[in-house]
Amino acid sequence: MALRLDRFVMEFPPTEIVIRAIGLRSKCKHFRILVIGRANAGKTTLLKKVCESIEDPEIYSPSGQRIDLSVVEASAERGEHDIENQLIFKSNRQFVFHDSRGFESGSEEEIEKVTAFIGQRVAARKLSEQLHAIWYCLPTDTNRPILAADELFFNTSAAGKVPVICIFTKFDGLLTEAVSQLVDDGYSFEEAEEGQTEYAAKMLADNFEKPLKANMRIEESDCDELIEKTADALSDKTLRLLFLSVQQNNIDLCTRQVMRE
């Protein structure tokens, strides 16, 4: 069940921020997120967990017409991709996702397409048409963790227009790589297993923190923390409450955030 902000108004003294949130919710019934990531970065798995779904999302055109999945698959086989298409899960229709391919090829055209999409959505007058957040998925089980195109994106002005939350996926694969490297360095298998998490954290920092010039808090987390970190990244308090109102995973988290406001 999604958080009912009107119930909070009944149980707690009304505040301007909650009233504004209810007003926004009447105008915008969903939260729009652009998901960026390479092929096999775990994007679909992540979205299914967030929306608590075992089914693939339905795909809709920008005008709201449902698109047959076979049409989308045929376009993908031809190398075509429409970032404007909207991905919606039956289990939670209050999230609207846009899927952007990663920048594996270093194609400037793909980066320009994503940058143009972000700029267009930022400039939209209606809140329901705006882009509210970006989830940038980076797989950790690869020997090419940060591509030049990834760095280029983070250095563009587009990355500063919308909150960007980096999500490091496939940590299990990095743990396996850590064990292998420790064994190659002369540790026993038992010693390697014991030290795999610490060594994987070091690999993660070397592979991502230094190239991105960012301070990372490295630890295993779940979808609840992703929701919380996304909420924290939203500088507008009313938009933050709107985001919390459309997610259905953790009512306790919603309660804490609302009471904190």
Residue whose structure tokens are 């591509």 = 147
- pLDDT above 70: residue 252: no
- At residue 189, the pLDDT reads 87
Residue 221 in this model has a pLDDT that exceeds 70: no
CATH of domain 5-170+221-260: 3.40.50
Q: Exposed, middle or buried by CB within 10 Å (0-12, 13-18, 19+), for 195?
A: middle
pLDDT in tens, 55-94: 889 999 888 888 887 656 645 554 556 889 999 999 888 8
3-state secondary structure of 151: helix
**Per DSSP, what are the bridge partners of residue 164?**
134
Calculate the alpha carbon distances from 43 to 56, 170, 216 in Å: 12, 10, 21
pLDDT at 232: 82
The pLDDT tens digits of the residues spanning 96-153 come to 999 987 776 556 778 888 889 999 999 998 888 999 999 988 888 776 777 777 877 8
Alpha-carbon span 108 to 82, nearest angstrom: 16
Whether residue 204 has pLDDT greater than 60: yes
